A = this chain, B = another copy of it.
Amino acid sequence: MEGYDSCVEDVTPTRSLAVRLIQAAEQLKADFATSIAPSGLSVPAARALLMLDEPLPMRTLSDRLACNQSYITRIADELESQGLVKREPGKDRRMQILTLTPSGDRTRAAVLSAALTGDRVQQRLSAADQKALGRLLGRLSGD
């Protein structure tokens, strides 16, 4: 559990929105970690697993997760050691294609279901609020 709490907020009259948004995000991340805990996977591995709804080259995964390629090697090792994924050579022999095993497929479905079930955005926000939040986040991100 992280704790990106007080900081600028104790200085400005009200706790800053930026800090509150960061705290909300930490909460969401903690929720995700809790919901995937039964899988025994690390958070990064669970995130990668969720992306594998189709076989993907490791390179594609590193692009989508916006992380270094070497880190994908690590994650693939974890997933493979759990028997959830296989590495298969692509037509371009430099590529390794990550493909879910049947067990990986089941685990992915379980993780996905748990993540959706534990999503407090869905739980606590009405449809209208969700729409409003989406709009605000769009403005924040630069459209």
The answer to whether A125 has its CB under 8 Å from any CB of chain B is yes
Chain A residues in the interface with B (C-beta under 8 A)? 1-8, 10-12, 16-18, 20-29, 32, 47, 50-51, 53, 64-67, 112, 115-116, 119-121, 124-125, 129-130, 132-134, 136-137, 139-142
A50 neighbours in B (Cβ, 8 Å): 7-8, 10-11
Contacts beyond the supplied A21-B24, A133-B136: 9 A-B pairs with Cβ under 8 Å: A1-B66, A2-B66, A4-B47, A7-B47, A20-B137, A21-B121, A27-B140, A124-B140, A125-B139
Whether B139 and A8, one on each chain, are in contact in the complex, defined by CB atoms closer than 8 angstroms, is no
> Does more than half of chain A's interface fall in helix, strand or loop, or is it mixed?
helix
Q: Specify which of B5, B27, B28, B141 is in contact with A64 (CB 8 Å cutoff).
A: B5
Residue from the set A47, A137, A140, A142 with the largest chain B CB neighbour count within 10 Å:
A140
CA distance A107 to B4 in the complex (A): 21
Copies of this chain: 2
Q: Is the CB of A121 within 8 A of B140?
A: yes
**Which residue of the partner chain B has the closest CB to A136?**
B133
B120 touches A140 (CB 8 A): yes
Q: For the complex, what is the distance from the CA of A25 to the CA of B139, rounded to whole Å?
A: 13
Chain B residues closer than 8 Å to A11, beta-carbon distance: 50-51, 53, 112
User: B25, B29, B112: which contacts A8 (Cβ < 8 A)?
Assistant: B112
Q: Are A21 and B17 in contact (CB under 8 A)?
A: no
